[in-house]
Amino acid sequence: PKEIFLKDYEKPDYYFETVHLNFALGEEHTIVHSNISVVSHPEGGANAPLKLDGVDVKLRSLKVNGEDVKDGGYSLSAKQLILHRPPSTPFKLEITTEIEPQNNTTLEGLYKSTGNFCTQCEAEGFRRITFYQDRPDVMAKFTTRIEADKSLYPVLLSNGNLIEQGDLSEGRHYALWEDPFKKPCYLFALVAGQLASRDDEFTTCSGRKVSLRIWTPAQDIPKTVHAMYSLKAAMKWDEEVFGREYDLDLFNIVAVPDFNMGAMENKSLNIFNSRLVLASPETASDADYAAILGVIGHEYFHNWTGNRVTCRDWFQLSLKEGLTVFRDQEFSSDMGSRAVKRIADVVRLRISQFPQDAGPMSHPVRPHSYIKMDNFYTVTVYEKGAEVVRMYQTLLSKKGFRKGMDLYFERHDSQAVTCDDFYAAMRDANTANLANFGLWYSQSGTPILTIYTSYDASAHTFQLKCRQEIPPTAGQPTKEPMLIPLAIGLLGSKGQDLPLTSVYDGASLKSLKDDCGNGVTTVVLRVEKAEQEFIFTDILERPVPSLLRGFSAPVRLVSDVADEDLLFLLAHDSDEFNRWEAGQTIGRKLILSLVSALQQGKELFINKDFVNGLRSTLCNSSLDKEFIAKAITLPAESELMDLMEVADPDAVHTARRFVVKQIASSLRQEFLDAVNTNRSNEVYEFNHESMARRALKNVSLGYLASLNEPETIQLALNEYNTATNMTEQIAALAAIAQNPGELRTEVLSKFYEQWQKDSLVTNKWLALQALSDIPGNVKNVEALLDHPAFDMKNPNKVYSLVGGFCGSAVNFHAKDGLGYRFLGDMVLKLDKINPQVASRMVSAFSKWKKFDLHRQELAKWIHMGR
Ligand code: B3K
Ligand code: ZN
């Protein structure tokens, strides 16, 4: 395989204006006929060879301007069809290909899922359907005619508007779809099968009526209420917040059980993994409901950020993904609790993206090169990319960011553009100085921002000394400083926000006012240099600084803020994110110190002040309950390991478990109260208040069950038996399953019996067991491979069982090497079925440089050696 470089980008020699596709769907094979009008690129070489991509497609005929192309006129290889001497443009290109969707287990291109036809074309799946210039900067208008057996495939869908349909001979029928918008082929979609729909309608801000349809097998239609609610909410939100109106009269969503990713934003025909559409209170948890809201929003928002304005090349993936993740995060924040959403997003970044950025897979938000594009749908491109977009907003204000977005759409509607174009729109709309901000796209690695503070009581000044440093990463030994927005507030002795009147930033003294000329209590400092000093004036008492409010930049913050000040912030900070963060910072320090105590064979002690801080948080009735649930949850094992020079999974696990149990026994009564007062005694509702109550109850129950005492286990069992929704049922099951023994086995099999017919629920059952920290769990996981609930061909099953297993640090990284061997074997098998799923699983190996030599050797041997 060849490495492809961003710096080698060249425009195509030819563009396609219109593409007429005809699909004759069949059981043995499917015939695809395409009729393309080809034009030259204005600056392209005349009569240059036309190179078309094609993988696993059989060429049946090739015509130019109606004439068969003679044998010497083209050449065909495993991945390409080259037309050697095309005529002068414009010309007509007609290609007929034969494919076998029924045998396509890669789930890319056209394939079958539970008897229905569906497609997945991003990034390079269209070339598995027909020969084409499969690159996003080739945008064409598509019409699609689908022909199929009417009884087997009564529903025929593609992009755009349905303009014709009718019956054919031999029990077949057809449908003709026309998409009026130019699009790259990665946004093409086709669905054919036995599906029912939930129908609704949305009236846009300009008064147009849009038909909304969500398609699933008939028996699942009752589970699409929440998805439809989410879609309508997203459509309204995009109008209100970004002024973006939907542009067609129809919007379809199809749910399929076999899907490599979460969902796909095909123009007006989104295809979704069923797990992100189907929900009922009994079968889906609050987390599932929230994920559905977020992903339905995400795919819908792509209609403007991705589809109307698309990417020039795949290096620019974050242009659409970082931006659209940011948009879905904002949407979910507006629909629920902003602070809680921000906390969840930052946790995700720390658990997954920071380790990626510190390991061998580290790459910039806009990568410089790739071998297989599929491997670049990463947390760095998506989540760090979203942080980069968020930083524009932090630097330019919400209003300025909106101006930048408006200019971006004004300039680039119906174009394929780059991250530089987005940067330019933000800069120009605000005549902003974004200096070295662009480096966030090209430099990999998580910056370390070190801050020393000091207060001068006689001068009434408060000083910050900032240093930024970006560690060397794969292929990038040295880095330049870049613009980091540092949001900061100062707390007075009563916990109140101090007014910030002016700050000296190393160059000049700036007075601080908001847009309306009012005083402020939070400011965004621009850290641009490797070392920089800021001095706040008129600070009348020694303040406690609240640094990096709202996590204003994706950095590792190191500061000299003392533990007692962190406890003060935990109790008082008006910035809820930082209030949570203060507790986490103490928690991280505490657990890591216990890890080194363990490594030195010392006894473990818990920091009483920390426990008391948690107690006050837990019992503070003025706080949001979901916030409390987050605040009393300790940093995850993977987050802790990421902070270590050499990760030690066993010690991290033991130390964290120790702290969990200490907290549980110290706050036993408080947790009991939390469980007893937060039971739901009403019908399930997806709203913040009831979700928050369930979250607090469930976290508390988890702590209590960790004690493994008869009384707390009985309580968990009671919660399990009386649960009326999946959120509480699965939480109680997880609480019980922490402790090995008969009860665990019993409740697990009871759960399976109850839900064996619901594949999405049995995925939870698989994941819960796979993730278990019970020693030697690899054996159970191996046994589950043969369980009827598992199916190697279904990505969701693999992600639950194999992916779940890799999430258990102790078992996946077990010193006997059995965890690594298990994954190695699985990857080999998966690679033959579905390379994308295999490569997602293999990425669990990519953190091995951070482990001890013994584990590195084991992983290397298994990963490379086979
Ligand atoms: N754009 C798709 C991802 C496609 C991945 C292909 N390997 C989903 C999304 O991010 O919205
Ligand atoms: Zn996306």
**CA 403 vs CA 243, 319, 777: distances in Å:** 11, 17, 54
pTM of the model: 0.98
pLDDT in tens, 548-588: 999 999 999 999 999 999 999 999 999 999 999 999 999 99
Instruction: Tell me phi and psi for residue 481, to 5 degrees.
Output: -65, 150
Active-site hit among 122, 124, 147, 299:
299
Nearest CA to ligand 1 atom 2: 264
Structural domain includes residue 295: no
> What is the pLDDT, as a whole number, of residue 861?
81
pLDDT at 478 over 50: yes
- 393 and 259 in one domain? no
Where does 513-621 show beta strands of DSSP type E?
523-527, 531-537, 544-547, 556-559
Q: How far does residue 412's CA lie from ligand 2's centre (Å)?
A: 19
Structural domain includes residue 566: no
> Looking at residues 17-23, what average pLDDT do you find?
98
> What is the pLDDT, as a whole number, of residue 435?
86
> What is the pLDDT, as a whole number, of residue 469?
98
Q: How far does residue 319's CA lie from ligand 1's centre (Å)?
A: 13
pLDDT at 303 over 50: yes
- 346 and 278 in one domain? no
Q: For a substitution probing ligand 1, which of 253, 267, 373, 377 has the most ligand atoms within 8 Å of its CB?
A: 377
299 lines ligand 1 (CB under 6 A): yes
Number of compact structural domains in the chain? 4
> What is the pLDDT, as a whole number, of residue 455?
98
The CATH number for 553's domain is 2.60.40.1840
pLDDT at 863 over 80: no
Q: For residue 864, name the pLDDT band (cuts at 50, 70, 90).
A: low
Q: How far does residue 13's CA lie from ligand 1's centre (Å)?
A: 27
264 lines ligand 1 (CB under 6 A): yes
Nearest CA to ligand 1 atom 6: 122
- 489 and 411 in one domain? no
- 643 and 530 in one domain? no
374 lines ligand 1 (CB under 6 A): yes
Structural domain includes residue 44: yes
pLDDT at 866 over 60: no
261 lines ligand 1 (CB under 6 A): yes
Nearest CA to ligand 1 atom 1: 264
> Looking at residues 686-705, what average pLDDT do you find?
97
409 lines ligand 1 (CB under 6 A): no
Peptide bond into 358 cis (omega under 30): no
Structural domain includes residue 290: no
pLDDT in tens, 581-630: 999 999 999 999 999 999 999 999 999 999 999 999 999 999 999 999 99
> Looking at residues 517-544, what average pLDDT do you find?
97
- 606 and 698 in one domain? yes
Report the C-alpha gap between 448 and 531 in whole angstroms: 12
For the question of residue 299 being annotated catalytic, the response is yes
Q: Provide the β-strand partners of residue 254.
A: 215, 271
Q: Give the number of whichever ligand sits closest to the CA of residue 123.
A: 1
Structural domain includes residue 680: yes
Query: What average pLDDT does the chain have?
Result: 97
Distance of CA 788 to the CA centre of its chain: 29
- 585 and 545 in one domain? no
What is the pairing mode between strands 74-76 and 67-68? unpaired
> What is the pLDDT, as a whole number, of residue 862?
79
pLDDT in tens, 796-827: 999 999 999 999 999 999 999 999 999 999 99
What b/e string do you get for 209-219 counting C-beta neighbours within 10 Å, with b at 16 or more?
Answer: ebebbbbbbee
Selection from 28-37, 499-508, 837-846 with the highest mean pLDDT: 28-37
- 324 and 279 in one domain? no
Is ipTM over 0.85?
yes
Q: For residue 41, name the pLDDT band (cuts at 50, 70, 90).
A: confident
Within 10 Å of residue 579's Cβ, how many Cβ atoms?
21
Which residues, including other chains, have CB under 8 Å from residue 639's CB and lie 6 or more apart? 347, 350, 351, 354, 588
Shortest-distance atom of ligand 1 to CA 374: 7
Q: How far does residue 243's CA lie from ligand 1's centre (Å)?
A: 24
Give the end-to-end CA distance of the chain in Å, rounded to a whole number: 18
Rounded to the nearest 10 degrees, the angle between the axes of helix 688-706 and helix 286-301 is 130
- 684 and 757 in one domain? yes
> Looking at residues 5-14, what average pLDDT do you find?
96
Structural domain includes residue 301: no
- 350 and 259 in one domain? no
pLDDT at 193 over 90: yes
Which residues, including other chains, have CB under 8 Å from residue 567's CB and lie 6 or more apart? 582, 586, 609, 610, 613
The CATH number for 87's domain is 2.60.40.1730
- 714 and 614 in one domain? yes
Burial of 230 (0-12, 13-18, 19+ CB in 10 A): buried
- 361 and 490 in one domain? no
Shortest-distance atom of ligand 1 to CA 302: 11
pLDDT at 237 over 70: yes
> Looking at residues 383-406, what average pLDDT do you find?
98
Contact 744, 736 (CB under 8 A): yes
pLDDT in tens, 628-667: 999 999 999 999 999 999 999 999 999 999 999 999 999 9
Structural domain includes residue 715: yes
Rounded to 5°, angle at Cα 471 from 467 and 473: 160
**Residue span of the structural domain in which 326 resides:** 310-442
Report the C-alpha gap between 504 and 485 in whole angstroms: 16
Contact 96, 31 (CB under 8 A): yes
pLDDT at 221 over 70: yes
Contact 448, 484 (CB under 8 A): no
> Looking at residues 220-238, what average pLDDT do you find?
98
3-state secondary structure of 681: coil
